[in-house]
Chain A
């Protein structure tokens, strides 16, 4: 297989993962300006739910994916009720500190329950191996990942663009106070969006195990990637998150493949330059 196509294929699959994990944060940040650094903890929770259901209870892999979504969404609703809603009007600093505290606790809890080793998952036979297409060797799992993420993206775009709920979300992201003035219950809307976004992160976490592994440091490692996607893509922009996730996924895989000595250096540098050029992100309006 020519490396260029292989790298792009892997990069797209990786970018899809990043998109699933970051789109929820982008929308909730755009709506409430709430800096939620604990977003990847929900992704990690989804991953561990999948691992537990498969290895301890013997569920099939595909059945654990909705469970990961539901578990992460439910956990986020609980945390939102107890902690987050008191901090919507606080400073960035307080929001950062609260949520990074939650990240630390979640990492320690995961290490306590599961240990610090990477968790194994056994994929069903039809997702293993690779297929030949136009002379390319494509891993079936990555094809599955891309297809799932595409399906979810389409569902998401249709929901946001064509439903009443989506119109309310767009209104609230655009101008929260005006949306309130028009009688939209922004708090309820936010709780719903928050749950949906965290659920997607959980699903992303579950899908990520096979590709990037899962250990307790997941919540912090991928937080940085997710933050890059969100801040480069622009707050509240689904298209922006998608573009940024693809850009990051492909360039990260390409960087690691072609210039391994530089490592993640390039990614951070690209982020810095992009942010300096457009502080509100590629697709940001404010």
Chain B
């Protein structure tokens, strides 16, 4: 991102919000799987869902600088809400999404009061603890959640009453891509608003923000709740398109995976989570014959390499390269 000296903040925001060619190309490219890889639409829909989840983490980590090791908690709350509604006889997907968003948002709002008070190690431990408590709670309440075996009997009704889920994932991908794009537009608007600028201020220098009159804790609470809502929507979509919910959707592994994707793609760019999710999920699909234990060997090496060599992820590396070559991004 080249920062010209623009004095007026409104002009600055306007310049930021203009759509770039590369962005339009990216979103057009998301339609390619329909034509080029119709056998991989199921994978594509899972990528879109994971990308949405990674984007929600980017809002709190990349913009407000909140390190969370328990973000899957909100994904799981959304997943279980949608799954439970469907298992109890109401499988309408859009209302399921709304309910999941509301439930995850409520949980996010309640926990945000805790999150906003802490920084550093205590914050990392608290996010980790919230995630772990939720996993244990879901495991104990097996009469409700099915416990370790997962939730049984989910059936998703046709979307808008017309488009039923098919074996090839055609509907699933259309559905998840549409939701991803809609929420992306909202998130994009959000981060280019004065509120988004305030969040970046908190990330860069938390203690100084109150001095210029910014209510730091309120901002953190707001963005944390928004991120929880988005994570809940992603979780609900996974439950609806795969028609299963398991404890995995809440677990530490998912929180760690999404963090890896976001770091891989690059934080604080909104597209970082999307690119990271694509690269990570496609790679995992290609190496699916590999024992999961060894998969994590490569993920570990990748993490070390990214942190040491490419601290801003793939997108950070690309924009550095572009700057070197003198291309205006």
| B140:A98 contact, CB within 8 angstroms | no
| A96:B122 contact, CB within 8 angstroms | no
Q: Does B317 sit at the interface, judged by CB under 8 A?
A: no
For chain B, which range describes its interface: under 10, 10 to 19, 20 to 34, or 35 or more residues?
A: 35 or more
| B133:A112 contact, CB within 8 angstroms | no
Q: Does B120 sit at the interface, judged by CB under 8 A?
A: yes
| A104:B132 contact, CB within 8 angstroms | no
| A92:B120 contact, CB within 8 angstroms | yes
Residue B307 contacts which of A92, A94, A227, A264 (CB distance < 8 angstroms)? A94
Residue B308 contacts which of A98, A105, A275 (CB distance < 8 angstroms)? A98
Q: What are 13 A-B pairs with beta-carbon distances under 8 A?
A: A86-B308, A97-B306, A98-B308, A100-B303, A104-B296, A104-B297, A227-B125, A262-B136, A263-B136, A263-B139, A263-B140, A264-B132, A265-B133
| Total cross-chain contacts (CB, 8 A) | 111
| A265:B137 contact, CB within 8 angstroms | yes
Contact partners of A264 in chain B: CB under 8 A: 132, 136
Q: Does A102 sit at the interface, judged by CB under 8 A?
A: yes
**Besides the known contacts A263-B139, A275-B118, 8 further A-B residue pairs in the complex with CB atoms under 8 A apart:** A92-B121, A96-B124, A97-B303, A98-B304, A101-B302, A107-B300, A224-B128, A227-B125
Assuming the contacts A101-B301, A104-B296, A227-B125, asked whether A96 and B139 have C-beta atoms less than 8 A apart, the reply is: no
Residue A227 contacts which of B128, B136, B140, B291 (CB distance < 8 angstroms)? B128
Q: Does A29 sit at the interface, judged by CB under 8 A?
A: yes
Residue of B nearest to A265 (CB): B136
9 smallest CB-CB distances across A and B, nearest first, come from A104-B300, A101-B303, A108-B297, A105-B300, A265-B136, A101-B304, A111-B293, A279-B122, A101-B300
Q: Does B87 sit at the interface, judged by CB under 8 A?
A: no
Residue of A nearest to B136 (CB): A265
Seen from chain A, the residues whose Cβ lies within 8 Å of a Cβ on chain B are 29, 35, 83, 86-87, 92-94, 96-98, 100-109, 111-112, 116, 216, 224, 227-228, 231, 235, 261-265, 268-269, 271-272, 275-276, 279-280
Assuming the contacts A29-B121, A263-B139, asked whether A105 and B297 have C-beta atoms less than 8 A apart, the reply is: yes
| A102:B304 contact, CB within 8 angstroms | yes
| A231:B121 contact, CB within 8 angstroms | yes
Contact partners of A216 in chain B: CB under 8 A: 293
- How distant is the Cα of A235 from the Cα of B297 in the complex, in angstroms? 30
Contact partners of A235 in chain B: CB under 8 A: 121
Contact partners of B308 in chain A: CB under 8 A: 83, 86, 98
Q: Does B159 sit at the interface, judged by CB under 8 A?
A: no
Q: Does B199 sit at the interface, judged by CB under 8 A?
A: no
Q: Does B129 sit at the interface, judged by CB under 8 A?
A: yes
State the Cβ distance, B266 to closest chain A Cβ, in Å. 13
Residue A231 contacts which of B125, B139, B299 (CB distance < 8 angstroms)? B125
Contact partners of A279 in chain B: CB under 8 A: 117-118, 122
Assuming the contacts A265-B140, A268-B132, asked whether A228 and B125 have C-beta atoms less than 8 A apart, the reply is: yes
Contact partners of A105 in chain B: CB under 8 A: 297, 300-301, 304
Contact partners of B133 in chain A: CB under 8 A: 265, 268-269, 272
